[in-house]
Structure 1
Amino acid sequence: MQRLVRGLQLGPLGHGLRRVAGTGVERAVTLRWPDGREVGAFLPKFLRENTIEAWDGSSKQRLDFCLPLDLQVRDVAPVEFSSPDYSGPAFRLQFSDGHVGHFTPPRPADTMWSNELRRQEKLLWGSEEATQVRGELRDGHGPLRFEWKDLQENPSVAKRWIEAMHSHGLALVAGLPSSEDKPFEGVHAFARSLGTFLAPSVYGETFQIKSVTSPNNLAYSSLGLQMHTDLPFNEQPPGIQLFHCLQQAEEGGESIAMDGFAAAESLRQQDPEAFQTLCEHPIGFQDVTKDWFLSAKHPTFELDGAASADTASKLRRLNFNERARDSWRHWNPAASLQQEERVYEAMRKFEELVEDRSRYVSLRLMPGEMICTDNWRVMHSRSSFLGSRYFVGAYLDWDAVRGRWRSLSNTFEAQWRDIASTR
């Protein structure tokens, strides 16, 4: 349903057309509201593919493909438009291919995505903040501690959990089902309470962490482990790691975490050349068992975007796992020995920061508690232990989790309303 805005009628474009240099027969259309405010200039193909009618209302997917290159806009008029998906001001457009549709101008991308989770600040924590972070995990009302029943009952709690994982890369969930007869029930129930699913790996959708004889991974021993990120031998390592306690060891077995981004930023400040070396030099990783042979190469520090004169590139992902690092299979006889030496020196400097225990947050989890870490940022380990210790591990995909956050935030629905209310 539509009605023309008072004082305007559908007719020839006239001043709404202007030639765009270098585009041949394509013309840019300048759209204006009735009060004279200019919305912007748009190519006909952009307008055509973004009319409300060009999208399926249920799936939110585009319906029309392979549009003609010489597409033109024949007529335009501002109207009040109403449909199940949108009600408010729009432009009624008629195109040279016969399509008639309604276009609602988007906000500029910088505005549209200004509240995006990935743009929100990450709160790095090092030795000075580690004690506070531990307290926020243990405090029943701490911002990094969550009760599973609250996650089940209130979607806003799930949203806060996702935001905590973004800001700190670390959270604790308590009160999960912890029956050893149904060991995987807890992590599956947690994923359902978020509105998402577990992400499978070569170890399965879930995996049991127990001490066994002749383990194919030292995680399945009783040894203490060095700080690391999981599965760097994957082309894309998993995004979020879950460790659910079913039975704690008689002695030892503490779960330990540290902010790898904070350590990396310390290296950037202390030795910029070493930091840059670890950004540029790919490191080989491997996981070899009787059933599979996984191999991938990543730089230790992956950056998000290019640096400018005013800002340094932000860290996107950390890849660090000395148990799985594979230099032997990636030997290059043509490589510069001087460069290899610089890589070893840079790695040693970062490893010294990794071994700084003042940066560690150590927790002795009890049955029903689960520690969650951002596997692209926060490294984890555990202390050696005596007796039986039974944990269940699983992963979540960051894309799925961020997608759930956008849904819970109702971001784009709110922006539709803003567009309608400001015209």
Structure 2
Amino acid sequence: MNSAGSVTVLELGDLTLPALWLRDACGCDQCRHPGTGQRLVGSARVARLFPDTAVTRHEVADGRLTVVFAPDGHRSTFDLDWLARNAPGRAARTADQSERGRVLWTSTDLPAGPPRVAWDAYLRSPVAMATALGAVSALGVAILTEVPARPGMVLTVARTFGFVRETNYGALFDVRIEPNPTHLAYTGAELAPHTDNPYRDPVPTVQLLHCLRTAGEGGDSVLVDGFAAASRLRDVDPAAFETLTRVWLPFRYDGPMTILTARAPLITLDDEGAVTQVRWNDRALQPPDVGPDRMAEVYRALAAFAAVLEAPDLAVSPRLAPGDCLIFDNTRVLHGRTAFQPDPAGGGRHLQGGYVDMDGLRGTLDLLRRDGGGARLVPTAPPPSGVPVARTARAAAPAVAR
């Protein structure tokens, strides 16, 4: 084994490997449970027990790096390919949900609307499933077509990739004209692009809307990439952007049996200043609870963002057909609709919706991409009799599949 002297940072070709990081990343049976793979020695314990960790010896052979640490003499082995992908400064941000790791879009980028994947292909082909879920992860939106236009199917779709989040609206909710509506969504009125449930903490992260019937005229969906809108606001009005990232505003819902409140910034940033969430809903936003000296600043910022959101080039307007199931990131994509009239003959526009947490979608997507054919996918609850479920994970592929 080569002598490295005693170094706190090991330089290996173009890799810079701090000794404490290597000790923390060790995957041996003493550091991780051999059955579950879960850590037995976590980062805090490593930092507390081995603050003066150094590499005393190292050897590279057969595509692996073996190191011996001081002061405890622990020995660790790492695949060089793994180090090349995961060394400090190189690791892919697999859990990064910010604008930095996503594909921002306007209507020019999606002239035909969101990517579409046929339901039958989605169920039978892991490639098609990864295509659809990958579009939701990267673009924030996708449409499954030809999903049977039957009540309750939105839950079947949801359970193919995640756990249904039940709210005061139920496990699923109907979006249609109601005789005595308790919500504007249950009328034929136009709905400006918005995110759902901003008065919750946390907000539902993935939303599904399954079309059972269309309106005779009107009722077209309207979608806006909130990350693209926030990016534009940052460019055209940096002061307004900063205000909406720093000032927490109140949201509220008063229902017959439920009162929900939350305070949050309209635009949330991560530690490096990248947008991670947009929370925009004029119907639920309450008058700002800031001091009088900041009131003009906040109202000016709200007006500036509203003006950006109304830019025609930001919106796409797909008309959902019966069987189309829209799946989108509710922390990013704003959705709305054009106005429509009730059908005098009965029926009329009818969507069913539901919510799923984003970690379920991304976890399923990672499973599909992880190892060709090695993973097995099952829904979180049994689908109706006769509905097949994708079982074998393979690599993800093209942007559109049927």
TM-score interval, normalised by the smaller of the two chains: 0.7 to 0.9
1:191: which partner in 2?
A: 158
> 2:316 matched to 1:342?
no
2:354: which partner in 1?
A: 394
Query: More deviation in 60-69 or 389-398?
Result: 60-69
Q: 1:74 to 1:209 in 2, by over 3 A?
A: closer
- Please give the alpha-carbon distance, in whole angstroms, between the structure 2 residues aligned to 1:188 and 1:218: 23
SS in 2 for 1:245: strand
Deviations 1:152-203 (A, max 9, x none): 1222222222332234322211011222xxx22x22332344x433333342
Deviations 1:283-334 (A, max 9, x none): 210112232221111222222333xxxxxx432211110100112xx645xx
What is the total number of aligned residue pairs between the two structures?
356
**Please, which runs of 5 or more residues in structure 2 have no aligned partner?**
372-402
1:420: which partner in 2?
A: none
- Please give the alpha-carbon distance, in whole angstroms, between the structure 2 residues aligned to 1:76 and 1:192: 50
**Residue identity opposite 1:55 in structure 2:** R
Offset at 1:244? 0.3
1:50: which partner in 2?
A: 26
SS in 2 for 1:348: helix
SS in 2 for 1:112: coil
Which of the residues 223, 229, 235 maps onto 1:269? 235
> 2:90 matched to 1:111?
yes
The question of whether the paired residues in 1 share the 8 Å contact of 2:106 and 2:313 is answered with no
Q: 1:210 to 1:136 in 2, by over 3 A?
A: closer
1:163: which partner in 2?
A: 134
Which of the residues 370, 373, 385 maps onto 2:328? 373
RCO (CA 8 Å, sep 6+): is it higher in 1 or 2? 2
1:91: which partner in 2?
A: 66
SS in 1 for 2:317: strand
Q: Which has the larger radius of gyration?
A: 1
1:69: which partner in 2?
A: 49
Q: 1:251 to 1:47 in 2, by over 3 A?
A: same
Offset at 1:220? 1.8
Which of the residues 238, 244, 248 maps onto 2:210? 244
- Please give the alpha-carbon distance, in whole angstroms, between the structure 1 residues aligned to 2:337 and 2:87: 47
1:415: which partner in 2?
A: none
The question of whether the paired residues in 2 share the 8 Å contact of 1:245 and 1:365 is answered with yes
The question of whether the paired residues in 2 share the 8 Å contact of 1:80 and 1:89 is answered with yes
Offset at 1:76? 6.1
SS in 1 for 2:49: coil
Q: 1:108 to 1:246 in 2, by over 3 A?
A: same
- Please give the alpha-carbon distance, in whole angstroms, between the structure 2 residues aligned to 1:80 and 1:191: 47
Deviations 1:340-375 (A, max 9, x none): 112112212222232344533223222111122222
**Residue identity opposite 1:188 in structure 2:** L
SS in 1 for 2:154: helix
Q: TM-score, normalised by structure 2?
A: 0.75
1:281: which partner in 2?
A: 247
Q: 1:61 to 1:70 in 2, by over 3 A?
A: closer
**Please, which runs of 5 or more residues in structure 1 have no aligned partner?**
1-7, 19-27, 82-87, 138-143, 307-312, 412-423
The question of whether the paired residues in 1 share the 8 Å contact of 2:165 and 2:356 is answered with yes
Q: 1:218 to 1:56 in 2, by over 3 A?
A: same
The question of whether the paired residues in 1 share the 8 Å contact of 2:58 and 2:66 is answered with yes
Matches within 5 A, 1:5-24: 8=1, 15-18=4-7
Let me know the Cα RMSD of the aligned residues.
3.5
> 2:193 matched to 1:204?
no
Q: 1:76 to 1:331 in 2, by over 3 A?
A: closer
Deviations 1:356-407 (A, max 9, x none): 4453322322211112222222211122222232211112322222233333
Q: 1:75 to 1:223 in 2, by over 3 A?
A: same
Deviations 1:197-252 (A, max 9, x none): 33333423322223223333211222221221111111222222211011222332
Offset at 1:73? 8.6
- Please give the alpha-carbon distance, in whole angstroms, between the structure 2 residues aligned to 1:110 and 1:398: 26
- Please give the alpha-carbon distance, in whole angstroms, between the structure 2 residues aligned to 1:398 and 1:74: 40
The question of whether the paired residues in 2 share the 8 Å contact of 1:76 and 1:92 is answered with yes
The question of whether the paired residues in 2 share the 8 Å contact of 1:256 and 1:362 is answered with yes
> 2:99 matched to 1:123?
no
Q: 1:263 to 1:38 in 2, by over 3 A?
A: closer
Q: TM-score, normalised by structure 1?
A: 0.72
2:124: which partner in 1?
A: 153
- Please give the alpha-carbon distance, in whole angstroms, between the structure 2 residues aligned to 1:390 and 1:289: 22
The question of whether the paired residues in 2 share the 8 Å contact of 1:259 and 1:378 is answered with yes
Q: 1:383 to 1:77 in 2, by over 3 A?
A: closer
